[in-house]
Amino acid sequence: MDTPISLLSSQLICCPQLPLAVYQEIAAHLRQVIGVTVELLPQRSRQFDYAQSQVGGLQIEYSLHTDSLSLQRVEQILAYYGDRYGAWKSLEGQG
């Protein structure tokens, strides 16, 4: 039996050139994982750039009921898209 996470936690990540539709697809996949909620973050760029994503990133939140199997599934989903579109970057500490 998996041990649930004891504290609610969150993760802020981005892939700077990831298209809006792909961010939406990733969010839809992650929302299917038990104990996980996902929000798309707004783009905070001060200057428009066609090469940049229309989304600022993802906020992934883990509930008290998120088990290790769910965490593993999140990592698999992120790895799948990361392999195809580029490495994920942490937004922790940026504001």
Q: Is residue 81 a part of any domain in this protein?
A: yes
Q: Domain of 71? A: 10-90
Q: In what order do the strands lie in the sheet with 89-90?
A: 36-42, 55-62, 9-14, 89-90
In CATH, what number is assigned to the domain containing residue 42?
3.30.70
Q: Is residue 45 a part of any domain in this protein?
A: yes
Q: Is residue 83 a part of any domain in this protein?
A: yes
Count structural domains, the chain: 1
Q: What is the pLDDT of residues 55-72, one digit of tens each?
A: 889 999 999 889 999 999
Q: Is residue 3 a part of any domain in this protein?
A: no
Q: What is the pLDDT of residues 2-11, one digit of tens each?
A: 544 445 789 9
Q: Is residue 5 a part of any domain in this protein?
A: no
Q: Is residue 2 a part of any domain in this protein?
A: no
pLDDT band at 54 (very low <50, low <70, confident <90, very high): confident
